[in-house]
Structure formats: structure tokens, C-alpha cells
């Protein structure tokens, strides 16, 4: 029988959407929440995966994002400003919508969770606000 487990991670991060016609074009921040879910078989210890191991994989990535500005690598004016001011930032190769961040993040984590042979599926949900999210999933088999 397959079991799904989940763990939530919360951090503060800012971004902007240069293409946006509304206020999101401006630099602004969110309290992001990410739910990491794993579907698989229970191991000999009675777990799909120990939450400690989930944190070992996810926490270092979240530490890079927490209180940082996440930025599209094409947003050169903002990148130059961030570097000149020595501000913490994290650059990704696409717009910083919750949809594209979810795709980028799941690609970061998939290879790390593949090491656990009993896990079939990784699901990632990124909340940009308390009531708006993007979700992606990937098979680990």
C-alpha cells in the first residue's frame, strides 16, 4: 500500500515580475511556504522517509532563499543593483512566478530523493501567499 507524507517549509523572500502590468512589477516580498510530499512504500522502520532526511535535503536550499531576492537571470538591472549593494540574492533561469519556481525547485530536489528506492513520486506545492499556490509532481522511478 502506498503512503503519502508531507513536510512544510516557510521562508521570507522577495522578487519582482518585470513583465507584469500591475504592482507585481515592483520589488516586493512574500512569506513563501513549500509543501514537499513523497509517495512510496513504507520501509522496514515503518516510514516512507524520516522527516529528518527530508529536512537534510530541503533545508540547505531554503537557507539560500531565506531573506534573499530571487531573480530571473535576464533581469540584469536588478542583478547589478543587488550585487553592487551586496544584497543576498538567488538567480534562476526564468521568471520568478510561483509556477516556474515550483518547476525549478522540483528539479533541484528530484535527484536527491531518487536515492530512496521506496519513493515513487515527489510533489511540490509553492504558496506565494496563504491562498495561492502552484503545484508540480514528478515520478522518481
Whole-angstrom distance, CA of residue 90 vs CA of residue 98:
15
Whole-angstrom distance, CA of residue 4 vs CA of residue 122:
10
Mean pLDDT in residue range 39-65:
97
In tens, the pLDDT along 73-123 reads 999 999 999 999 999 999 999 999 999 999 999 999 999 999 999 999 999
Mean pLDDT in residue range 21-50:
96
What topology does CATH give the domain 3-139? Tetrahydropterin Synthase; Chain A (3.30.479)
Helices marked H in 11-140 — which ranges? 51-65, 76-84, 98-113
Q: For residue 63, what are the contacts with CB-CB under 8 A and spacing of at least 6?
A: none
32-to-56, 99, 115, 125 alpha-carbon distances in Å: 19, 13, 27, 10
Amino acid at each position: 500500500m502506498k503512503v503519502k507524507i508531507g513536510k512544510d517549509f516557510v521562508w521570507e523572500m522577495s522578487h519582482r515580475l518585470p513583465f507584469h502590468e500591475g504592482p507585481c512589477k515592483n520589488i516586493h516580498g512574500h512569506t513563501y511556504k513549500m509543501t514537499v510530499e513523497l509517495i512510496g512504500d513504507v520501509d522496514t522502520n515503518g516510514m516512507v522517509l524520516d522527516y529528518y532526511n527530508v529536512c537534510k535535503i530541503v533545508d540547505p536550499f531554503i537557507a539560500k532563499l531565506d531573506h534573499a531576492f530571487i531573480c530571473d537571470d535576464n533581469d540584469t538591472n536588478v542583478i547589478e543593483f543587488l550585487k553592487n549593494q551586496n544584497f543576498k540574492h538567488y538567480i534562476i533561469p526564468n521568471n520568478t512566478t510561483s509556477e516556474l519556481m515550483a518547476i525549478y525547485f522540483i528539479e533541484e530536489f528530484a535527484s536527491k530523493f531518487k536515492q530512496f528506492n521506496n519513493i515513487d513520486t515527489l510533489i511540490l506545492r509553492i504558496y506565494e501567499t496563504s491562498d495561492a499556490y502552484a503545484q508540480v509532481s514528478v515520478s522518481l522511478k
